[in-house]
């Protein structure tokens, strides 16, 4: 299956290949079987149907696929996706009932439009692009349809946008975008809270160099980093957003930055500014974006998210990752990339090259403190073979023997702080001959102040294996495995050993 189209497969080429013998009929059958099998495995065949009608603007029966039981899950997911990475002198949570807050930035409010505008085919709405007027390769949108309408006269291959300047980023763009029933933007939630707390709110979401009211107790700046199916991000930071942050921070000694980001966003241009007291990677929270953020910033809940990537000090620190092989017109379907970086990407690359990141993989702050103790690592298999016992490799998920537990680790975590919060304990392993550390488990535990809990990690054949290109199997390496447990890849207070 090739989406959304492919000259190689379409226009009868595949049929011709089978007819002339260049492609076996059995291969075509296998391709079709995999597609149909996935549909029947994951799609509910219900009446009156699934999905959207071809023409959303014509009269049709609405099919509401929302499940009210999912509402709390959606909200909790929004909360847990926020990662607090800077909090100087306990700037957050905001003090109870602040008198005056100032809000800035193009990312604070909901897009001015959230509706399908095309009778059929492509439009901004289903692709989560209501907060941007431009899509590379297509051009600028007008108010009625997605077409080659160049409102500013720029060609369709103009530079890719780095930020969505027309509203908050709640979803990534493309086929996996979220089209929620509502968008609770940060501005909406702050206004509700201001009414409850009798807080005076000031805001400027328009000017790149806004004026800050001198009595503001906190200045919150909202920026984003957009990405979508169909184009790569042009950079890991953009000058417009960084300048906005600097302009506010120059006038306010309690500036807080909220970033709705699709992936890595570098912040070293201003992260050490003493006037910037708090920074949150809010990612893409979905429909409950505003309420989730306000609950965190006001301390109704402690943040508990952790970075699923490494934030570098400079883009060149990522090495080959930022220099992918790009297609040329002559080789559009045969681009070659030898993946010379191997498995050494993200934190494995940083460790191998001894590069100090700004924020390491797994990093994230809470409003409490946690202590780790009592690590125990032991094998639960009397005879660990190098190769997992052969199973039925055609089962869903692969060979089931790979998922057999052969060792486990456990430790105790204690909330030594003063507020209830969740801690994410992370387990890393060094496989002999492999990268310095690889993540092999994580557990989130919610604890009251003074409360302790035991977390347990199961290690399977797959966890302790490397792929053997000769045997074409996962193989357990013989030797001593080092096991660490801690708060992030660089903050592991517990260390143990496992002999295989």
Shared domain check, 42 and 106: no
Shared domain check, 295 and 149: yes
Shared domain check, 87 and 12: no
Shared domain check, 164 and 40: no
Residue 64's contacts (CB-CB under 8 Å, 6 or more residues apart) are: none
Phi/psi of residue 361, nearest 5 degrees: -55, 135
Shared domain check, 300 and 253: yes
pLDDT at 136: 46
The domain total for the chain is: 3
Q: How many angstroms separate the CA atoms of 136 and 158, rounded?
A: 7
Range of the domain at 300: 74-305
pLDDT in tens, 257-295: 999 999 999 999 999 999 999 999 999 999 999 999 999
HEC profile of 435-467: CCCEEEEEEEEEECCCCEEEEEEEEECCCCEEE
Q: Tell me the pTM.
A: 0.89
Tokens found for residue 34: 């995999």
pLDDT at 388 over 80: no
pLDDT in tens, 344-382: 999 999 999 999 999 999 999 999 999 999 999 998 866
Beta strand ranges found along 139-213 (DSSP E)? 139-140, 200-204
According to DSSP, the β-strands at 421-430 and 438-447 are antiparallel
Shared domain check, 242 and 141: yes
- 62 within a domain of the structure (yes/no): no
Residue 421's contacts (CB-CB under 8 Å, 6 or more residues apart) are: 302, 304, 366, 367, 368, 370, 415, 446, 447
- 59 within a domain of the structure (yes/no): no
Tokens found for residue 146: 């997605």
pLDDT in tens, 179-227: 899 999 999 999 999 999 999 999 999 999 999 999 999 999 999 999 8
pLDDT in tens, 122-160: 677 888 888 886 554 444 444 333 333 333 344 444 556
- 324 within a domain of the structure (yes/no): no
Shared domain check, 171 and 259: yes
The mean of the pLDDT values for the chain is: 87
- 336 within a domain of the structure (yes/no): no
Shared domain check, 170 and 38: no
Provide the CATH number for the domain around residue 453: 2.60.40.10
- 57 within a domain of the structure (yes/no): no
End-to-end CA distance of the chain: 42
Shared domain check, 249 and 176: yes
Provide the CATH number for the domain around residue 131: 3.40.50.1700
Tokens found for residue 17: 């290949």
pLDDT in tens, 7-34: 666 677 888 889 999 999 999 999 889 8
């Amino acid at each position: 299956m090739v989406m959304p189209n492919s000259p190689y497969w379409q226009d009868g080429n595949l049929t011709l290949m089978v007819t002339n013998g260049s492609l076996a009929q059995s291969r075509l059958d296998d391709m079709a079987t995999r597609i149909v099998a996935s549909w029947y495995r994951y799609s509910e065949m219900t009446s009156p149907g699934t999905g959207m009608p071809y023409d959303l603007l014509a009269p049709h029966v609405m099919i509401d696929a929302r499940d009210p039981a999912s509402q709390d899950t959606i909200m909790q997911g929004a909360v847990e996706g926020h990662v607090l990475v800077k909090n100087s002198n306990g700037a957050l949570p905001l003090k109870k009932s602040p008198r005056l807050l100032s809000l800035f930035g193009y990312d604070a409010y909901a897009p001015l439009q959230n509706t399908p505008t095309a009778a059929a085919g492509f439009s901004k709405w289903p692709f989560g692009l209501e907060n941007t007027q431009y899509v590379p390769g297509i051009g600028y949108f007008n108010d009625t349809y997605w077409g080659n309408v160049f409102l500013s006269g720029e060609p369709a291959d103009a530079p890719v946008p780095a930020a969505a300047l027309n509203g908050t980023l709640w979803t990534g763009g493309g086929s996996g975008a979220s089209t929620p029933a509502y968008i609770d933007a940060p501005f909406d939630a702050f206004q509700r809270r201001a009414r409850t707390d009798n807080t005076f709110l000031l805001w400027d979401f328009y000017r790149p160099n806004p004026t800050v009211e001198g009595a503001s107790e906190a200045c919150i700046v909202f920026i984003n980093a957009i990405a979508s199916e169909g184009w790569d991000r042009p950079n890991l930071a953009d000058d417009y957003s960084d300048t906005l942050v600097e302009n506010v921070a120059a006038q306010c000694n309690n500036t807080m930055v909220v970033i709705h980001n699709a992936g890595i966003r570098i912040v070293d241009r201003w992260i050490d500014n003493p006037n910037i007291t708090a920074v949150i990677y809010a990612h893409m929270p979905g429909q409950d974006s505003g309420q989730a953020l306000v609950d965190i910033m006001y301390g109704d809940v402690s943040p508990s998210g952790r970075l699923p990537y490494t934030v570098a000090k400079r883009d060149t620190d990522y090495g080959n990752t930022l220099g992918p092989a790009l297609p040329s017109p002559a080789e559009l379907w045969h681009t070659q990339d030898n993946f010379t970086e191997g498995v050494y990407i993200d934190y494995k690359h940083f460790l191998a090259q001894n590069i100090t990141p700004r924020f390491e993989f797994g990093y994230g702050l809470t409003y409490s403190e946690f202590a780790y103790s009592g690590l125990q690592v032991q094998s639960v298999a009397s005879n660990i073979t190098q190769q997992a016992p052969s199973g039925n490799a055609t089962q869903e998920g692969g060979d089931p023997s790979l998922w057999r537990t052969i060792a486990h680790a456990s430790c105790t975590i204690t909330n030594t702080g003063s507020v209830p919060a969740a801690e994410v304990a992370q387990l890393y392993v060094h496989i002999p001959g492999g990268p310095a550390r690889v993540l092999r488990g994580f557990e989130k535990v919610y604890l009251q102040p003074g409360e302790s809990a035991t977390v347990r990690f199961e290690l399977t054949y797959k966890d302790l294996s490397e792929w053997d290109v000769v045997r074409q199997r996962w193989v357990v390496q013989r030797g001593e495995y080092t096991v660490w447990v801690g708060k992030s890849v660089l903050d592991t207070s517990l260390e143990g050993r496992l002999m295989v």
